[in-house]
Chains A and B, each alone.
Chain A
Amino acid sequence: MFDQATLAIIFAGLMAFSTLVYAILDGYDLGVGMLLPLNNEKDSDTMIASIGPFWDANETWLVLAVGLLLIAFPTAHSMIFKALYLPTVFMLIGLILRGVAFDFRAKAAFNHKPTWNKAFKIGSFLASGSQGYMLGMYVMGFELSVSSIAFALLSAIGVSTAYSFIGACWLIMKTENQLQQRAIRYAKRALIISFIGISLVSATNLIIDQSIYLRWLSSSVSLLLAMIPLCVVALFVYAWRSIVEVENQALSNEATPFLACIGIFILTFLGLAISFYPFIVPNQITIWQAVSAAESLNFLLYGALFVIPTIVGYTIFSYWVFWGKVEDLRYY
């Protein structure tokens, strides 16, 4: 049996883990959705086929992350989502549109397919944009002022671009020929905007929040922390170079840009986590103030410790089954 303080850390860690996995996995499939061309049905089909076997499981990580927040830190969950009520509704509508458009586009009467493609694309934008907006509002402590709304909108663009970036890298890995060339162009553009976006958001964070400024720039571990932005910059450069190499057909492993992108996601997320720890609602509630009863969390933890590695295991199995360039998506 763990005590409540330890459980708070364990569950905050599990929650952070599933949020990060969600951002990477649903990030790439939302990105693919946003990049969907509306004038080229064949490419749309291939792109959607590339995420077909995965999107459902990817989205489940969101359910787990939000579920862990609800279960382990219920007061924080209700504070956060009450403050973000409307953007949450928009995100959910976006996810609904996307999830059903994916299935309807192939099954409804034929002439409806372009409409469902549009719904898929709009849904992807809506979901990514609202997630970015919610992240921005969270960082600003849910303050409803002109400047924080502006920041949240900036963050909406930033997150959408980052998702498009990882989505484009996914397509570089999973597609060939013309579509791959298009993905390369998308990836380059998204990489530049993501880089600017991440720099802007990091700088704003340092300016608006005194405690974040102190933690990053004048504490005993500052030097160690400085490694994170340096590595991010290095990974951006590496990603750019590997994309150019794929373009020139000089790279044998087309998964490299995607892996570099995952690296950027992990480090950026780590940066955010370091900025806010131990708060679960920025500057208001810490993880120890919000945590649920120990007997409940212990009961759940036994299962989680066994189940989560299993989930990771069969997720890997599923990616292994569908490894390689994408094939036509057909229901058998």
Chain B
Amino acid sequence: MLDTELLSRIQFALNISFHILFPTITIAMCWFLVFFKVQFDRTGNAIWMRAYRFWVKIFALTFAIGVVSGITMSFQFGTNWPGFMEKVGNIAGPLLGYEVLSAFFLEATFLGIMLFGIKRVPAKIHTLATLIVAIGTSLSAFWILSLNSWMQTPTGFELRDGIAYPVDWLAIIFNPSFGYRFSHMLIASGLTVSFLIAGISAFRLLQGDDKRAPKLTLKVALTSAMILAPLQAFVGDLHGLNTLKHQPEKIAAMEGIWHSEKGAPLLLFAWPNEQTQRNDFAIGIPNLASLLLTHELDGEIKGLSDFEHTPPVKPVFFAFRIMVATGLLMIMVAWYARYRLYRQKKQQQPLPSWLLKLLVVMSFSGWLATLAGWYVTEIGRQPYLVRGVLMVKDAVTDLAPENVGFSLMLYIMVYCLLLIAYLSTLFVMAMRAVEIEEIQESEHKGPAKRNANPAQINNFLQEPTNV
């Protein structure tokens, strides 16, 4: 029989894994929408509006699932992890509170205007509403990552009778790992969206959609992926160094280093063996881990046996490799596809269909990398909930396991249903977009206007909506 702690952990892991998929998309997608809308306002070119209208629907769908799955999580702090709020609530509370106050209302209210208000407000106000929603989603990420980072690298507080009290709010919010985690997450979102837009656009092209809109979004997405993918590798490396400084036990698990060693190899593959405290089937590059982490060929990295509390090695070790491998693949695909696009433009040819198919397959590569990254960071914090302050086992509820088991079952069912519905709907929408007519030449040619003229906007609004 599973106990309440394990069931609660599975439930929270399931909830957060499901939830994070959607903000990962909405955070950056909204900035893409701002870009499309500003381009339309600036040039009056109808293709930008087409791109906006197609992606804003996907944004709305994604946002809705993100909101409702987020509400479930906030309830679990109290129901399943009451010790969390008892011990560190004085710090976690205001951070969560500021998220709701500064971000939630902003995005939820202006979302209404952004989605349904284009005919009811002036074009500039509509663009402004889109911008406000984008700021709201990023602000939301700011507060949540601040709290999460504080749980990893807590500072700015003092313990009185085992309960944390805030001493310095700036030190709490901008804790030592916050900047790295926040930028890593924002770029992850940007990459996820780039590959999603590229993938769905490629899917439309493969379906025979010869219009300008999917070609345009493919180009925008690949350009952004080309810039963000290597940037992410750079920021990830800095984040790793920060983790080595503040959470060396996590690095030891990520690299599979059981005993402190000098000149540690970078393991490409291995099967960590908890019994023998060593790695089976290890294939590695000598000294490279030490070089990367300490910038010295024989720099010393502390091993797991040096720490009192260590995370489970296998999941952290493998998740880290999955994240890095996916990231490297993303860099290669983004650069190669962008290069082909550049070459093809000169030769007036479409992209080869194998490349489009590869992009379709990689539509959700961002999800894979982000989830793997989160497992590294969250499982790597075990057995602590707040490092050095609160253990997971001391925060769990005394609810009956049957109750948690029952709720877990319901969540699994609902989430499976939603995920299937979400993914199939994305492709259904893409297929419907294929059938929409191309914008007439006369509508978009001509000199660039400072503002799109009202008659022209009205023209789009009369077009059949591809729902």
- A residues with a Cβ closer than 8 A to B are 52-54, 56-57, 59-60, 62-64, 66-68, 70-72, 74-75, 77-78, 80-82, 85-86, 88-89, 92-93, 95-97, 99-100, 102-104, 106-109, 292-293, 295-297, 299-300, 303-304, 307-308, 311, 314-315, 318, 321-322, 329-332
Contact = CB atoms under 8 A, between A and B. Distances in A.
Contact of B421 (A64, A82, A99, A100): A100
B85 A311 contact: no
A45 B111 CA distance: 19
B68 A99 contact: yes
Contacts of B461: 330, 332
Given A85-B79, A104-B61, A292-B93, A57 B72 contact: no
21 contacts: A53-B112, A56-B63, A56-B64, A57-B112, A63-B71, A63-B74, A70-B74, A71-B94, A74-B78, A77-B78, A92-B72, A93-B414, A96-B69, A100-B418, A293-B166, A296-B89, A296-B166, A300-B94, A304-B101, A311-B109, A332-B460
B74 A102 contact: no
B72 A295 contact: no
Interface string B446-467: 0000000000000011000101
B116 A293 contact: no
A99 B64 contact: yes
B56 A88 contact: no
A82 B428 CA distance: 41
B79 A322 contact: no
A159 to B, nearest CB: 19
Interface string B411-429: 0001000100100110011
A66 B69 contact: no
Contacts of B429: 107
Nearest to A52: B116
Q: What is the predominant secondary structure among interface residues of chain B facing chain A? A: helix
Contacts of B68: 92, 95-96, 99-100
Nearest to A307: B101
A100 B77 CA distance: 23
B60 interface: yes
Contacts of B94: 71, 296-297, 299-300
A104 B71 contact: no
A168 B421 CA distance: 31
Interface in B96-148: 96-98, 100-102, 104-106, 108-113, 115-121
B86 A303 contact: no
Among B57, B90, B109, B421, find the residue whose CB has the most chain A CB atoms closer than 10 A.
B109
Among B75, B78, B410, find the residue whose CB has the most chain A CB atoms closer than 10 A.
B78
Given A57-B108, A89-B410, A108 B120 contact: no
B116 A332 contact: yes
B428 A332 contact: no
A103 B64 contact: yes
Given A59-B71, A322-B120, A331 B64 contact: no
Contacts of A330: 116, 461, 465
B120 A60 contact: no
B191 interface: no
Contact of A72 (B82, B93, B406): B93
Nearest to A312: B105
Contacts of A107: 57, 61, 425, 428-429, 467
Contacts of B117: 53, 321-322
A108 to B, nearest CB: 5
Nearest to A54: B112
A305 to B, nearest CB: 10
B397 interface: yes
A99 B67 contact: yes
Contacts of B89: 70-71, 74, 292, 296
A332 B119 CA distance: 9
B61 A103 contact: yes
Contacts of A97: 414
B101 A64 contact: yes
B53 interface: yes
Nearest to B101: A307
B434 interface: no
B353 interface: no
Among A89, A295, A304, find the residue whose CB has the most chain B CB atoms closer than 10 A.
A89
B97 A88 contact: no
B344 interface: no
A52 B89 CA distance: 35
B322 interface: no
B105 A57 contact: yes
B124 to A, nearest CB: 14
A107 B174 CA distance: 41
Given A300-B97, A331-B56, 16 more contacts: A53-B116, A57-B105, A60-B104, A71-B93, A74-B86, A82-B398, A86-B406, A96-B69, A100-B421, A303-B97, A303-B98, A307-B102, A308-B101, A315-B109, A318-B112, A331-B60
B96 A62 contact: no
Contacts of A78: 78-79, 82, 85-86, 397
A111 to B, nearest CB: 11
A120 B82 CA distance: 32
A301 to B, nearest CB: 9
A321 to B, nearest CB: 5
A87 B150 CA distance: 32
Among A63, A297, A311, find the residue whose CB has the most chain B CB atoms closer than 10 A.
A63
B65 A100 contact: yes
Contacts of B121: 321
A109 B429 CA distance: 8
Interface in B12-66: 53, 56-57, 60-61, 63-65
Closest 7 CB pairs of A and B: A53-B112, A71-B93, A78-B82, A74-B85, A99-B68, A57-B108, A332-B118
B196 to A, nearest CB: 16
A93 B414 CA distance: 8
Among A108, A109, A296, find the residue whose CB has the most chain B CB atoms closer than 10 A.
A296
Contact of B90 (A85, A89, A295): A295
A17 B220 CA distance: 45
Contacts of B90: 292-293, 295-296
Contact of A331 (B53, B109, B120): B53
A232 B8 CA distance: 44
B77 A70 contact: yes
